[in-house]
Amino acid sequence: MARRTKIYEGKAKILYEGPEPGTIVQFFKDDATAFNAQKKDVIEGKGVLNNRLSEYFMVGLQNIGIPTHFLKRLNMREQLVRSCEIVPLEVIVRNYAAGSLCTRLGVEEGTQLPRPIVEYCYKDDALGDPLVTEEHIAAFGWASQQEMDDILSLALRVNDYLSGVMYGVGIRLVDFKIEIGRVFEGDYQRLVVADEISPDSCRLWDLETGRKLDKDVFRRDLGNLTDAYSEVAKRLGILQNNATSIKPTVVN
């Protein structure tokens, strides 16, 4: 069997060279980390769920004209994506106060924000992904002004899409993080939504009960993480409703 070339191993995914130039295989691990990997565990089935959920959201975005790096799902744990140069920013959109917004500003968790708030963090694990302003981004050349305009508009479109999809299945999109990639096509370069969109990178609360259906379950020891992610997958029709295990019952 031919050995694949590993390009990069992150906390939750491994990237391998794809079968054709310009493609990458993205493998979803079961590893869960929080607080910059100070808390770690292996949650059986998480990678399978996130692979499928991220596919669902990326395809949905593409269907409404928002470009992403996603090409196709290959198997239970892997998807083929376009290789791109990742803009070194975590782009966060918040609709309700939670997480670091609450600790930073003393706002009560769950407070509805008067409008979506977009934040940028500089992607650097050694620094703990610090919050930065557009001034830092421009000064250090992490993205151009034109790219920042495009990133803001992409982030807000993704927010509208994801909020609507989740609301339709009784879930509140509290906040999420996306990453943006530069794709080169001849003389042109364009921006796409990259990395993953999954309950690892969103806060999702049940609209009626407020139950957390995202990685906060792991961060705060609130119960079984795969149960929470499976609930999201079931509501979206990705997992059959009577599924007790994700292994044999993932639809398609």
Instruction: Please report whether residue 202 would count as binding ligand TMP according to CB under 6 A.
Output: yes
C-beta of 18 vs 46, nearer to ligand TMP:
46
Work out how close the CB of 54 gets to ligand TMP at its nearest, in angstroms, rounded to a whole number.
12
Instruction: Please report whether residue 177 would count as binding ligand TMP according to CB under 6 A.
Output: yes
> Do 58 and 193 contact (CB within 8 A), yes or no?
yes
C-beta of 6 vs 104, nearer to ligand TMP:
104
Where would I find the H helices in 33-183? 46-63, 99-105, 134-139, 145-168
User: Per CB under 6 A, which of residues 16..55 are in contact with ligand TMP?
Assistant: none
Work out how close the CB of 8 gets to ligand TMP at its nearest, in angstroms, rounded to a whole number.
16
Structure token digits, residue 120: 């940028």
Work out how close the CB of 39 gets to ligand TMP at its nearest, in angstroms, rounded to a whole number.
12
Neighbours of 116 (CB within 10 A): 16
Question: How many whole angstroms separate alpha carbon 52 and alpha carbon 47?
Answer: 9
Instruction: Please report whether residue 203 would count as binding ligand TMP according to CB under 6 A.
Output: yes
**Which DSSP string do the residues of 9-40 spell out, in sequence order?**
E-SSEEEEE-SSTTEEEEEEPSEEEETTTTEE
Return the residue nearest ligand TMP (CB atom).
99
For 96, the 3-state DSSP assignment is: strand
Interacting residues toward ligand TMP by CB under 6 A: 92, 98-101, 129, 175-177, 201-203
